C-alpha cells in the first residue's frame, strides 16, 4: 500500500503536518525513555540493596598465617593474653613470674615477680576487663589487674633509630613495645599490674579458681564473687568487698567465705569450676562429665539444685568447659571431638530455683579430641584447638562453623586465643606459635538465624526475637526478622480491612448514583485527604485517637457494627417511602444518607458501648481482655458475627430469594419494600443468633479466644493503626477505583437499564465486572501504600517487634524498624546490613505482591474485553 493511501486503499487528500509527526516521534521516544528509565531505576534500587546485604552471608576470612618458634621453654604457662593491636603479650608462669614479650618475634620485653615466689596453681580472668585472680600454692587467692597501658609520643621524642619505624612493624623500647600509628604518632604500650593482699581461703594449694569481677575493674568500692577448689578437695565460695580509706587511699578487703555443701566425690577432683555472670550459680565439673550446679544467691543458704551428665549423649571425657561471653552459656568439649553449648532455661516444674541446665547447641564435631578453648571478648565466637593440630572458630548462637585450619606441625594446640578485636587468631603448640589475621565478617547473621527460631539465653524454647542493641556487648544480638515481616502484614491487614470496603463502596456510589454536580465537589474533597502528611496522622493517632479508643473500647467495637446496620436499616426504610416522594427527594439522597451517620455513631457509641461492655465483657473490657473476669463468649462474637453474616447472606441468596421470586411476580413496590425490610430483620437476627450459638458452644468446650487474636490491651495497637492508616489509604483506592468505573462505556449501562435492570443491579452485575481490573489495581496500589507506610505505624503501632495475633497489641513493621534504627547503626556492621536486608525484604515482598496482582488484573481485563 502506498504511503499516501489510507487504510481503505483510497488516496489521502491531506497530509499529516510535520509538526504533528515530530511531536508524535518525540513523545514516543520520551515515553520509551521514561519507561526504560523506570525499569532501570527500580533495578538499580534492587542491585544497590543487594550489594549492601550480600556481605552478610560471605564466609569468614583467614589470612595466610605465620609460624614462629615458641618464645618460652618447657616452663608451664598458666595463662597468657595479647593486646588489642597484636603487638605484645604477657604470660603468667606457674613459678609466679609475669613475662612480657613482643608478639612479632617473641623478643623479651620485661619480667616481673608478681607472687613473691609463691607458685601459682590456677588463674581466673575477666572476660571484659583486666581483672585477674591468682590461686596460689599456699592456699591463698590474690585479686588485681594486669592491663596494657598505652601512651602516645611524637616523632621527635623517639630515638633516631625508631623515628623511621614502618607502621606495620613494632619494636621494643623503654620497657614496652612501640608502633607507629596511621596518624604518624608513636604508640607505646607497657604492662601495668596491681595485686592486692592475699586472702587465705584453704589450708592446701588451690587447684581451681573462677571469679566474677566488677565491670569497672579494680577493687575500689567493688566486690568480687569467686569459688575455688583446693588440693584436699575443699570447695569454697566467697565474696570479697573492698573499702577505701578516704584519707590514705588504701584499699582494705573484707572476705566472706562459705564451704560448698555436699561436694560429691568420684575418685578425682573437679577439673573446672565456674561462676555465672551474676554470681548466682556455681558449677563444679568433673572430667567424666558430671556437673553439679549450686544456687549461691544467698551466701548463708548455699545449696545443690541440679546434677547433669554433660557427656551422656556422646560419651568420652571432658577436656574443656568454659563460658562464652556473658558468663551464661558454657561450651563443653570432649575426647571424641564433640562440642556442646549449655545454658539455664526457665522451667516451671524444674529445680528449686526454677531453672534447668539444658543442652541447646550441638556444634560441628571434629575427628580428634578437643585440646584448648578461647572465648571472644566482644562476640559469641569461640576458638577451639584440637589434638591433631586443627584450629576451628565457631559462632555459638548461630551454631555456625566459621574457620577450619590445620596447623603445619600437626601437634596438639595447647593454647588458642582470639584477638581482643576479633581480628586475629593465635595458636600455641609445644614447639611453635601460629598467628594469622582473621575477619569473621557477620557470623551472627545466617538465613536460619534471621528467619527461623533461635534459642537465646534466658528463654525456654527457640523464638523469633528482634533486639539489636544493648548496654554492653555481653548479651546476644537478636536479628529475627520474622516479627518485622509479621508486623508489616498485620498493619496492612487491618488497614485494608478498614479502608478497602469504604473506598470501593464510596467509588461505586459517586460513580453510579451521585448526581454529577455533587460529585464534582465530593470527589476532589476525598482526593484532598491524600495530601495529609502521614506524620500528622500518626501524631493524631498516638496522642488523640489512641487515648480515646482506650477509654471506650467497647463503644468503638459497637460503633463498627452499629453504623453499617444503621445504614442498611435506613436504606430499607427509604424503600418504604411512596414512589412520588422518592422521585421528588432523590436529589437530596446525600442528605438522607447523612442521617444514619449522624444517628448511628452517637447511638452506637453512647448506648451500644455500655450495653456491649456489660453483656459481653463483664462490665470491664480491660479486665476481661486480661482474662480476670467473664467468659470467652464476647471474644468469639467478634470473630463469628462477620462469618455468620456471610453465611446468612449466602443462605438467603441461594435459597430464600429464588423461592420468593417464584411467588412475588405480581407484588407491588410497597409489598416488595416491606418484604425486603422483614428479610433484613430476619437475616440480622439469624446472624446474631448463629454467632451467639457458636460462641456459646465454643466457650462451653473450654476454648477461650483470649490469648490468641484477643489479649491484653495496649494503647497503641493494630486497631488504632488500622483506623488511622485507613484514612491515608482510602483516597488512593477511591480515586483510582472511581476513575476505573467512570471509564466503563455508557452503552453498557444503557443496555442494562433498557433490559429492566435497576441502577444497583447495573452497577453490581455490569459496571463492576467490567471495571474489575481497575478496581483490583486500586486495591493493590493501596496495599503498597499500606505496606510501605512508616510514620503512622511508628507513632501509633507501639513499636514493639513481636509476632502476636492480638488486635489490641502493638507491633513493628519493616519500614518503621529501618526508620528507627538506621540512623544509629554503625556503617557496614551486622546491624547496618541487616536493616538493609529488611529493606530488601520489603522490596521483594512488594514486588511479589504487585506481580501477582498484575497477573490477576490482566485476567480480569481479558474478561472485560469480552463484554
Say yes or no to pLDDT of 754 above 70. yes
pLDDT confidence bin for 857, thresholds 50/70/90: confident
- The answer to whether residue 151 scores a pLDDT higher than 80 is yes
* Contact call for residues 443 and 402 (beta carbons, < 8 A): yes
Contacts of 386 (CB under 8 A, 6+ apart): 337, 366, 368, 369, 370, 371, 392, 412, 413
In angstroms, the CA 121 to CA 78 distance is 8
Burial of 650 (0-12, 13-18, 19+ CB in 10 A): exposed
Residue 595 grid cell: 442521617
- What is the predicted pLDDT for the residue at 1? 46
pLDDT at 164 over 90: no
Query: Is the pTM value of this prediction over 0.75?
Result: yes
| pLDDT of the residue at 20 | 84
C-beta of residue 149 within 8 angstroms of C-beta of residue 189: yes
More confident residue, 129 or 782: 782
CA–CA distance, 143 with 634 (Å, rounded to integer)? 64
> Residue 661: what pLDDT?
77
Please give the full DSSP string across 252-280, using - where no structure is assigned.
Answer: EEEEEEEEPSS----SS--SEEEE-TTSS
Question: Does residue 831 contact residue 824 with C-beta atoms inside 8 Å?
Answer: no
Chain segment 391-410, per-residue pLDDT in tens:
999 999 999 999 998 887 78
pLDDT band for position 430 (50/70/90)?
confident
> What pLDDT does 531 receive?
84
Residue-level pLDDT at 234: 87
Average pLDDT over residues 237-263: 79
Q: What is the mean pLDDT of the chain?
A: 86
Query: Mean of the pLDDT values across residues 340-360?
Result: 89
CA distance 147 to 83: 9
Is 279's pLDDT higher than 80?
yes
Instruction: For residue 216, name the pLDDT band (cuts at 50, 70, 90).
Output: very low
The reported pLDDT for the residue numbered 72 is: 67
Predicted pLDDT of residue 838: 94
Q: How many angstroms separate the Cα of 551 from the Cα of each of 541, 563, 614, 637, 724?
A: 14, 20, 15, 21, 17
- Per-residue pLDDT reduced to its tens digit, 627-637: 888 888 888 99
| Share of residues in the chain with pLDDT > 70 (%) | 92
Given this model, what pLDDT does residue 217 score? 44
**Helix, strand or coil, per DSSP, at residue 812:** coil
Altogether, the residues listed in the chain come to a count of 867
Measured distance CA(295)–CA(283) in Å, rounded = 9
pLDDT tens-digit series, residues 5-63: 555 566 656 677 888 888 888 999 999 999 899 889 989 999 999 999 999 999 999 98
Q: Which three cell numbers stand for residue 275?
A: 561462676
Q: HEC string of 564-590?
A: HHHHHHHHHHHHCCCHHHHHHHHHHHH
Cell 569459688 belongs to 227
Residue 709 in this model has a pLDDT that exceeds 80: yes
Decide if pLDDT at 863 tops 70.
Answer: no
Q: Is the dihedral of CA 849, 850, 855, 857 positive or negative?
A: positive
pLDDT tens readout for residues 440-466: 999 999 999 999 999 999 899 999 999
Q: Are 256 and 299 in contact (CB under 8 A)?
A: yes
The confidence band for 487, taking pLDDT boundaries of 50, 70 and 90, is: very high
Are β-strands 108-113 and 120-125 bridged in parallel, bridged antiparallel, or unpaired?
A: unpaired
Would you call 166 helix, strand, or coil by DSSP? coil
Lowest-confidence pick of 42-56, 274-288, 595-609:
595-609
Query: For the ranges 413-427, 433-447, 746-760, 817-831, which has the lowest average pLDDT?
Result: 746-760
C-alpha distances (whole Å) from 827 to each of 694, 771, 780, 832, 833 are 55, 48, 34, 6, 8
Per-residue model confidence (pLDDT) at position 381 = 94
Which residues sit opposite 82 in a β-bridge?
A: 89
Question: What is the rounded average pLDDT of the residues 679-696?
Answer: 92
Tell the burial category of 256 from Cβ atoms under 10 Å away from its Cβ (0-12, 13-18, 19+). exposed
pLDDT at 215: 52
Higher pLDDT, 694 or 600: 694
Please state, in angstroms and as integers, the Cα–Cα distance from residue 46 to each residue in 49, 428, 479, 836, 838, following that order: 5, 46, 22, 11, 12
pLDDT tens-place string over residues 120-134: 989 998 888 888 999
- pLDDT score of 246: 67
What cell was used for 190?
Answer: 607497657
DSSP 491-538: HHHHHHHHHHHHHHHHHHHHHHTS-HHHHHHHHHHHHHGGGS-HHHHH
> Cell numbers 468469639 correspond to what residue?
636
CA separation for the pair 758, 756 (Å, rounded) = 7
Q: What is the DSSP string of 134-155?
A: EEETTSEEEEEEEEEEEEEE-G
Cell of 644: 455468620
Q: Per-residue confidence at 865, pLDDT binned at 50, 70, 90?
A: low
pLDDT value of residue 48: 93
Residue-level pLDDT at 572: 80
Closest by CA to 473, choosing from 389, 383, 381, is 381
Q: What is the DSSP string of 606-629?
A: IIIHHHHHHHHSTT-HHHHHTTSS
Predicted confidence (pLDDT) at residue 751 exceeds the cutoff of 70: yes
Average pLDDT score over residue span 744-765: 85
Q: Residue 225: which of 216, 212, 234, 235 has the closest Cα?
A: 212
> CA-to-CA distance for 482 and 780, rounded, in angstroms?
23
What is d(CA 20, CA 30) in angstroms, rounded to the nearest whole number?
15
- pLDDT of amino acid 385: 93
Between 475 and 197, whose confidence is greater?
197
Read off φ and ψ for residue 376, nearest 5 degrees.
-65, 150
Helix, strand or coil, per DSSP, at residue 369: coil
Cell 548496654 belongs to: 471
Amino acid at each position: 500500500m502506498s504511503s499516501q493511501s489510507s487504510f481503505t486503499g483510497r488516496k489521502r487528500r491531506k497530509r499529516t503536518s510535520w509538526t504533528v509527526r515530530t511531536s508524535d516521534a518525540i513523545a514516543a521516544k520520551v515515553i520509551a525513555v521514561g519507561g526504560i528509565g523506570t525499569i532501570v531505576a527500580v533495578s538499580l534500587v534492587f542491585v544497590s540493596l543487594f550489594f549492601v546485604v550480600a556481605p552478610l552471608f560471605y564466609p569468614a576470612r583467614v589470612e595466610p598465617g605465620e609460624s614462629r618458634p615458641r618464645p618460652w621453654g618447657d616452663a608451664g604457662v598458666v595463662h597468657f593474653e595479647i593486646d588489642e593491636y597484636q603487638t605484645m603479650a604477657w604470660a603468667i608462669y606457674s613459678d609466679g613470674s609475669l613475662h612480657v614479650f613482643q608478639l612479632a618475634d617473641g623478643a623479651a620485653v620485661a619480667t616481673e615477680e608478681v607472687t613473691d615466689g609463691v607458685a601459682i596453681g590456677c588463674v581466673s580472668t575477666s572476660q571484659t576487663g583486666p581483672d585477674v585472680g591468682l590461686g596460689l600454692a599456699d592456699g591463698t587467692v590474690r585479686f588485681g589487674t594486669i592491663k596494657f597501658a598505652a601512651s602516645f609520643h611524637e616523632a621527635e621524642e623517639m630515638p633516631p633509630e625508631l623515628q623511621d619505624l614502618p607502621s606495620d612493624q613494632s619494636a621494643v623500647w623503654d620497657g614496652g613495645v612501640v608502633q607507629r600509628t596511621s596518624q604518624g604518632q608513636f604508640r607505646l604500650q607497657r604492662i601495668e599490674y596491681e595485686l592486692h593482699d592475699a586472702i587465705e581461703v584453704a589450708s592446701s594449694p588451690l587447684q581451681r579458681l573462677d571469679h566474677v569481677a566488677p565491670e569497672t575493674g579494680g577493687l575500689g568500692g567493688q566486690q568480687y564473687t569467686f569459688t575455688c577448689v583446693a588440693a584436699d578437695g575443699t570447695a569454697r565460695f566467697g565474696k570479697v568487698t573492698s573499702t577505701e580509706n578516704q584519707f590514705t587511699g588504701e584499699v582494705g578487703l573484707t572476705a566472706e567465705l562459705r564451704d560448698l555443701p555436699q561436694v560429691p566425690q568420684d575418685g578425682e577432683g573437679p577439673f573446672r569450676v565456674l561462676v555465672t555472670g551474676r554470681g548466682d550459680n556455681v558449677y563444679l565439673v568433673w572430667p567424666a562429665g558430671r556437673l553439679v550446679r549450686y544456687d549461691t544467691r544467698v551466701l548463708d543458704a548455699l545449696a545443690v539444685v541440679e546434677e547433669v551428665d554433660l557427656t551422656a549423649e556422646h560419651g568420652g571425657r571432658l577436656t574443656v568447659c568454659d563460658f562464652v561471653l556473658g558468663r551464661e552459656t558454657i561450651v563443653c568439649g570432649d575426647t571424641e571431638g564433640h562440642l556442646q553449648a549449655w545454658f539455664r532455661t526457665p522451667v516451671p516444674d524444674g529445680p528449686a530455683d526454677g531453672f534447668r541446665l539444658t543442652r541447646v547447641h550441638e556444634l560441628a564435631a571434629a575427628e580428634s579430641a578437643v585440646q584448648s578453648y578461647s572465648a571472644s571478648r566482644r562476640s559469641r565466637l569461640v576458638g577451639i584447638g584440637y589434638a591433631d593440630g586443627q584450629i576451628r572458630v565457631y559462632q555459638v548462637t548461630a551454631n555456625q562453623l566459621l574457620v577450619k585450619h590445620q596447623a603445619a606441625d600437626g601437634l596438639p594446640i595447647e593454647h588458642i586465643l582470639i584477638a581482643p578485636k576479633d581480628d586475629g587468631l593465635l595458636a600455641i603448640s609445644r614447639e611453635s606459635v601460629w598467628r594469622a589475621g582473621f575477619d569473621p565478617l557477620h557470623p551472627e547473621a545466617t538465613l536460619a538465624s534471621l528467619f527461623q527460631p533461635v534459642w537465646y539465653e534466658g528463654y525456654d524454647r527457640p523464638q523469633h526475637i528482634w533486639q539489636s542493641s544493648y548496654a554492653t556487648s555481653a548479651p546476644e544480638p537478636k536479628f529475627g526478622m520474622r516479627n518485622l515481616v509479621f508486623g508489616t502484614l498485620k498493619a496492612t491487614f487491618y488497614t485494608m480491612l478498614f479502608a478497602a470496603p469504604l473506598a470501593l463502596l464510596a467509588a461505586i456510589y459517586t460513580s453510579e448514583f451521585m448526581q454529577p454536580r455533587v460529585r464534582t465537589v465530593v470527589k476532589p474533597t476525598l482526593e484532598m485527604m491524600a495530601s495529609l502528611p502521614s506524620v500528622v496522622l500518626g501524631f493524631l493517632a498516638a496522642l488523640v485517637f489512641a487515648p480515646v479508643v482506650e477509654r471506650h473500647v467497647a463503644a468503638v467495637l459497637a460503633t463498627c457494627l452499629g453504623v453499617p446496620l444503621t445504614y442498611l436499616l435506613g436504606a430499607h426504610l427509604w424503600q418504604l417511602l411512596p414512589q412520588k416522594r422518592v422521585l421528588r427527594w432523590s436529589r437530596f439522597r446525600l442528605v438522607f444518607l447523612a442521617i444514619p451517620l449522624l444517628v448511628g455513631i452517637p447511638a452506637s457509641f453512647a448506648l451500644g458501648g455500655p450495653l456491649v461492655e456489660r453483656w459481653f465483657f463483664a462490665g470491664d473490657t480491660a479486665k476481661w481482655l486480661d482474662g480476670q473476669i467473664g467468659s470467652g463468649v464476647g471474644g468469639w462474637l467478634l470473630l463469628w458475627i462477620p462469618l455468620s453474616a456471610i453465611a446468612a447472606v449466602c443462605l438467603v441468596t441461594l435459597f430464600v430469594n429464588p423461592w420468593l421470586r417464584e411467588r412475588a411476580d405480581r407484588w407491588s413496590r410497597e409489598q416488595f419494600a416491606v418484604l425486603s425490610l422483614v428479610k433484613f430483620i430476619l437475616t440480622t437476627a439469624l446472624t446474631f443468633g448463629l454467632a451467639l450459638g457458636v460462641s456459646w458452644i465454643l466457650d462451653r468446650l473450654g476454648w477461650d479466644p483470649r490469648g490468641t487474636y484477643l489479649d491484653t490491651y495496649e494503647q497503641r495497637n493494630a486497631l488504632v493503626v488500622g483506623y488511622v492508616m485507613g484514612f491515608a489509604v482510602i483516597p488512593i483506592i477511591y480515586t483510582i477505583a472511581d476513575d476505573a468505573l467512570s471509564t466503563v462505556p455508557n452503552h453498557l449501562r444503557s443496555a442494562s437499564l433498557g433490559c429492566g435492570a435497576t441502577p444497583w443491579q447495573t452497577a453490581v452485575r455490569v459496571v463492576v465486572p467490567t471495571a474489575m481490573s481497575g478496581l483490583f489495581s486500586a486495591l493493590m496500589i493501596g496495599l503498597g501504600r499500606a505496606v510501605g507506610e512508616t510514620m503512622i505505624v511508628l507513632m501509633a503501632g507501639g513499636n514493639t517487634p513481636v509476632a502476636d495475633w492480638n488486635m489490641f497489641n502493638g507491633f513493628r513493621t519493616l519500614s518503621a524498624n529501618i526508620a528507627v534504627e538506621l540512623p544509629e547503626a554503625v556503617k557496614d556492621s551486622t546491624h547496618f546490613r541487616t536493616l538493609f536486608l529488611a529493606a530488601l525484604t520489603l522490596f521483594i515482598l512488594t514486588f511479589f505482591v504487585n506481580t501477582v496482582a498484575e497477573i490477576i488484573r490482566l485476567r480480569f481485563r481479558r474478561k472485560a474485553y469480552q463484554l
